[in-house]
Amino acid sequence: ITSTGNSKDPFEVDGSTFADFQSALNRSCNNQHNACASAANASGDKSLTVGDCDNQQTQCMATT
């Protein structure tokens, strides 16, 4: 999450801007989850599972 310097949408995540921090955090956590799930699904050794990604997302969302 970065600052845009724009008072209307002061937060940015991966090119999308948000008016409030909570919305930016939600997007950040969701993007992180999607990347994690893609990696888990591509993993041949199953050392990373989508369930692990779900747990990470829950922890990420709880940081507010």
Diameter of the chain by CA atoms?
46
Position 63 scores a pLDDT of 84
pLDDT at residue 45 greater than cutoff 80: no
What is this structure's pTM? 0.87
Give the other-Cβ count within 10 Å of 12's Cβ: 17
Give the other-Cβ count within 10 Å of 63's Cβ: 8
Give the Å distances, CA to CA, from 11 to 1, 3, 19, 23, 25.
6, 5, 7, 9, 9
Show me where the domains of the chain are located: 20-64
pLDDT above 90 covers what percent of the chain?
A: 89
Write the Ramachandran bin of 63: left for phi over 0, alpha for psi from -120 to 50, otherwise beta. alpha
Span 13-40, pLDDT tens digits? 999 999 999 999 999 999 999 999 999 9
Position 64 scores a pLDDT of 67
